[in-house]
Amino acid sequence: MLMFRGRNPARSAFTLIELLVVIAIIAILIALLVPAVQKVREAAARTQCQNNLKQMGLGCHMYNDTYKKLPPGWLTLQSPGTYPSPGWAWATMILPYIEQGPLYNQLAVTTNPPNGAAVNAATQTTIPIYRCPSDNGPPLNTTLQSFAMCNYVCNRELLGPDASNNPTNISVARIPDGSSNTIMVGERDFVNNIAGTWVRSSTTSASFEGRPGYGLNRKNPNSPPNTGTGPCERLGFNSQHTGGAQFVFGDGSVRFVSDSIDTAQNADACAFPASTQNYSFQNLIHPSDGNPINGNF
């Protein structure tokens, strides 16, 4: 007796339920992947920012080797009093030492007496090491006269000028509290604050300097925050890195300082010099307070 076997019909497509399951799995995988990609991207940006600060620290040391003093935070002349504003900042003065000699020559900087800066193509030049990759601010700082953006500001108590706008003329070897215990340059972003410029804008001294105030990453309460005058937070240190900001110290080392660093809570960032109370952040700013530094910051 002959037997005929039936043939199963061939499947021509996925069912709707199968498609939905596949789409759900893909969505879950993407949701898991995105944070990982973001973390890798931020880690790379943080490393690049660290390298930027290392280059600035090296530039400041090379300037120190040449002139036997650190670069001025803002170039002024003690006698007779000459304080050009807009003028030249620490980031201008180290240009020859960060492979920006042609730009420095184009600026035609004079130091005795110092001349002023003008808003032009030269002072609007974007310098890569002065930009933190984590900050997506524009190339020109429209808050600070549209000079080129800079995400790094100096410790004025170290580089000067003093409260009377006279030079401090401190060398690395003569930092009383030690070069490894004193901040030289740190970060400021354009998202929660006004960042800075690599020249000294006449809008505010925050264009070139930073102060400790109430602590790190204090958001400028202006809305939008990018206004040059008003709240003292404009002088603070800020970054787009999670949990703190990066600084280069007087010895050229780069360290990440946590938001949780202890700091004076009763003196805002407008105070200059900063509060002399014994807090870690203020102690790292003061070059000669004589207070020991708690290394856990």
- Give the confidence band of 250 by pLDDT, cuts at 50, 70, 90: very high
Q: Is 60 exceeded by the pLDDT of residue 11?
A: no
Q: Dump pLDDT digits (tens) for 263-297.
A: 998 888 999 999 999 999 999 999 999 998 876 67
Q: Is 70 exceeded by the pLDDT of residue 2?
A: no
Q: What is the pLDDT at residue 165?
A: 95
Q: Is 90 exceeded by the pLDDT of residue 147?
A: yes
Q: Is 60 exceeded by the pLDDT of residue 129?
A: yes
Q: Which two tokens stand for residue 283?
A: 């102690």
Say what the pTM is.
0.87
Q: Dump pLDDT digits (tens) for 16-70.
A: 787 787 788 888 877 776 665 565 576 788 999 999 999 999 999 999 999 999 9
Mean pLDDT of 81-109: 97
Other beta carbons less than 10 A from residue 108's beta carbon: 8
Give residue limits of the domains in the chain: 18-285
